[in-house]
Amino acid sequence: MRVVPEEPDDATAVSEKRRSPFAAMHDAWDFKGLPREVGILSAVAFCVALGFGIVAPAIPIFAQEFHVSAFWASSVISAFALMRLVGALPAGWLVDRTGERTTLIVGLTIVAVSSALAGFSNSFPQLVVLRGIGGLGSAMFTVSALALLLRVAAPEQRGRAAAVWQGGFLLGGIVGPFFGGLVLGISIRLPFFVYAATLGAAVVVVALTMSRTHLLDAPQKQAKAKEGKGESAHWSQLRHALRDRAYVTALSVNLGNGFASFGLRSAIIPLFVVNALHLSPAWVGYGAFASALVQAPLLFVAGPATDTRGRRFALMLGTGITATGFLLLAARESLPWFLVSMAIFGAGAAFLGSGPAAVVGDITGGRREGPIVATFQMMSDVGAVAGPLLAGWIVTATGSYTLAFGIGTAVLAITFLMSATMPETLGRATAHHRDATPVTTDGIDGQTAEP
């Protein structure tokens, strides 16, 4: 049974708020007190990020092997993100009915198989279709994992739980890009097969560690929750959340992060390195490695800071730092400044990895709110779809990477202003938690029950 810590008294709460996030850094590395699912998700995240860090730099470069423009090469990234967008709400529905474990396994398997087949692509349409299918599986994985994380973590744990979970991604993200450059140097197709293998390892982790765990709310609880309300109850809660300025800010930040960090970084930066800086594709992987190397230690500062300094603090730092990185990338076309900008991206990503998700957890109050979580995830995918297409069109039409990076800077600047004026949700989350009975994970046959 997960022991939920007692609520601190006022003096302790004040002390925690004044506590330096650097002093609390070691707490983020400690799994003690966190639900076991957080550790499992962290291991799965490592497997996924390891493979993705290897394949991501290869995707737009491989697309250009079929003699397409920068716009169409970027569209491969958008196809993946578009299908993640389309699959987000169905994935939330699937989680409610089959549970997180089943959704995780099926989603990861879909991405693994589609990635292996993409490595055999003989035409550009085949590559786009297979990456799109992989996007559906990715939506299932992301929505189910995030829903579980937010449901089992208490308010005072959300920043740390998000940091541990993102730590799995980061550890894989550090190793993946480094080997990505080496694998890409061997064969342009090999990264797709390596990615499929790491996803297969993630499936094994989930199957073995959650084989006796059924992570659905008790059926009778679900029935009571929906009695007299029907399926529309969840959509009513989403409409209510959309009237909350903090939730809208979290959506906007995730949209901007998807547009700039996921869209532009994944689709345009590899082309920028090869076509503008005239460097080997291996430098794309080395730049991603520099970003991950900076993000890793800062992530475990950002987690405790999100729980002590507040969600607004994390969102402001994340958006402001990332905007600075894009501004430098737009202003300087050289290898040293490219590496500096990538390192700055890592610093910003550390705070964007815990802050927005913690806001959503505060809004849901730890309850299973599929549409609210899925909508949050969808915003990142909207940005990841629009970013590569818009930037790819700009590069094709003008030949200017500077203008594309400038648009990313502007988008992030807007989200910074929204973050600076949003209401803080940390205190609200603590108040809700005092009135709620915590989720435990020691029910019959490992079933997660929520009173």
Mean predicted confidence (pLDDT) in 123-139: 89
> Tell me, what DSSP letter sits at residue 5?
P
What does the pLDDT look like over 318-346, one tens digit per residue?
999 999 999 998 888 888 899 999 999 98
The DSSP string of 349-415 is HHHHTTHHHHHHHHHHTTS--HHHHHHHHHHHHHHHHHHHHHHHHHHHHH--HHHHHHHHHHHHHHH
Q: 32 vs 3, 35, 162, 246, 297, CA distance in Å?
A: 10, 8, 14, 30, 19
Q: Is the distance from CB of 407 to CB of 398 less than 8 angstroms?
A: no
CA angle 3, 449, 1 (to 5 degrees): 25
Residues 25 and 146 sit within 8 Å (Cβ to Cβ): no
Q: Which pLDDT score is estimated for 416?
A: 95
Write out pLDDT tens, residues 134-183.
989 998 988 888 887 877 777 777 777 887 887 888 788 777 777 777 78
Backbone dihedral region for residue 228 (phi beyond 0: left; psi -120 to 50: alpha; all else: beta): left
- Those residues whose C-beta lies under 8 Å from the C-beta of residue 87, and which sit 6 or more positions away, are 135, 136, 138, 139, 140
Cβ atoms 322, 261 nearer than 8 A: yes
Ramachandran category for residue 254: left, alpha or beta (phi over 0 → left; psi -120 to 50 → alpha) = alpha
Can you give the pLDDT at residue 38? 82
**432 is written with which tokens?**
């809700």
Highest mean pLDDT among 94-98, 144-148, 234-238, 252-256: 252-256
DSSP E strands: which ranges in 44-193? Answer: none
d(CA 151, CA 369): 9
Q: Say which residue, 228 or 279, is predicted with more confidence.
A: 279
Q: CB of 448 within 8 A of CB of 441? A: yes
The pLDDT tens digits of the residues spanning 32-62 come to 677 777 888 888 888 888 888 788 778 888 8
Percent of the chain with pLDDT over 90: 16
- What band does 204 get if pLDDT is binned at 50, 70 and 90? confident
Of residues 415 and 386, the one with the higher pLDDT is: 415
**Mean per-residue pLDDT over the chain, rounded:** 77
Segment 278-306 shows an average pLDDT of 83
Angstrom distance (rounded) from CA 155 to CA 161? 10
Which superfamily does 24-216+234-436 belong to?
MFS general substrate transporter like domains (1.20.1250.20)
Q: Evaluate if residue 272 carries a pLDDT over 60.
A: yes
Rounded Cα gap, residues 415 and 341, in angstroms = 19
Distance, CA of 127 to CA of 109 (rounded, Å): 18
Please give the distance of CA 339 from its chain centroid, rounded to a whole number: 22
Q: What does the alpha-carbon distance between residue 267 and residue 57 come to, in Å, rounded to a whole number?
A: 8
At a CB cut-off of 8 Å and minimum separation 6, what does 146 contact? 357, 373, 376, 377
